[in-house]
A = this chain, B = another copy of it.
Amino acid sequence: MKKLINTPEREVDEALAGMAAAHPDLLRVEEPNIIVRKDAPRPGKVGVISGGGSGHEPMHGGFVGLGMLDAACPGAVFTSPVPEQMLAATKAVNGGAGVLHIVKNYTGDIMNFEIAAEMAQAEGIEVASVVIADDVAVKDSLYTAGRRGVGGTVLAEKIVGAAAEAGADLKTVTALCQKVQDNVRSMGMALTSCTVPAAGKPTFDISDSEMEIGVGIHGEPGRRREALRPADEIVEMLVTPILEEGIFASGDRVLAFVNGMGGTPLIELYVAYRKVNEILTGKGITIARNLVGSYITSLEMAGLSITLLKLDDELLRYWDAPVKTPGLRWGV
């Protein structure tokens, strides 16, 4: 295992110390390992928090700041955080207007956030939760854990954070988050595996001529393993099932998000974006906004995911609103 760390046990703590040192203008790090917006709580503002396993940076900690998250709860690598963290974060950002939990749909995240929400509510804090489950690689079913939360989470955090910043109340912010979830779909693929530091070896074996289609952001196996193909065909294989969801139609405006998994050179993401643009344009869908880069990653995994969000004027306005975080920044 080749990593720039000291020991697997200290990695998350040390990275948090690094973030605290690098971004004191935006955030602070508190016990028990939570990243809190510097000026939280802001009286009267709905608090927006999220969290999940570490190893997906900049998500979530890198999205703490003005116009996005009020706090993030980083767990061990690829392991959802513990309720103590979400409870502490909820209290730290509660300005009296309630707190929204943005939860990615993983059994562990769901249960730990649930326990924390119960505890916070017991302490008199109003908490709402929205579950992001946008990964079309997974069959949606009432009888399973359902779909994973992936790239749509980044877009939800940005948009919802902007609404909360603008003073929207908890009900409005919660409904907006659900609206993002209802209009966003993603799919990813991997060329290589990631290595969980504590595990010390790659999560999956994959030969030099194969790729994993529909991979999860924790290196979970995807829909299928198959022979490596040219980038354009790979993009087709990801965009097609997203479009088959029936959400996106000719005449629609979308936000297209081409995301690197952590070990993917930016030049390759632009090669892919070119093809995404070509496919959507061909279908009469307008890419009104885009995001190209590595924002929700899986440690050093090489690969990409594509996320499409159907936009309306409200989503567009909140997407364009100022944001100032370590990972996303514009308008201020």
Contact = CB atoms under 8 A, between A and B. Distances in A.
A300 B5 contact: no
A306 to B, nearest CB: 11
Nearest to A3: B268
A124 interface: no
A14 B272 CA distance: 9
A228 B4 CA distance: 9
A249 interface: no
A19 B268 CA distance: 11
A22 B275 CA distance: 11
A300 B3 contact: no
Nearest to A290: B22
A118 B192 CA distance: 46
B231 A4 contact: yes
A271 B11 CA distance: 7
A288 B208 CA distance: 44
A308 interface: no
A326 B330 CA distance: 11
B57 A267 contact: yes
A292 B22 CA distance: 8
B267 A11 contact: yes
A263 B266 contact: no
A155 to B, nearest CB: 16
Contacts of A100: none
Contacts of A192: 2
A273 interface: yes
Contact of A208 (B2, B55, B273, B303): B2
A17 interface: yes
Given A265-B57, A300-B263, A300-B264, A18 B331 contact: no
A145 interface: no
A18 B208 CA distance: 26
B271 A15 contact: yes
A232 B4 CA distance: 9
Interface in A245-271: 262-271
A196 to B, nearest CB: 12
16 contacts: A1-B208, A4-B264, A4-B269, A5-B231, A6-B230, A7-B230, A17-B274, A22-B270, A22-B277, A22-B292, A57-B265, A57-B267, A57-B270, A263-B302, A267-B299, A300-B302
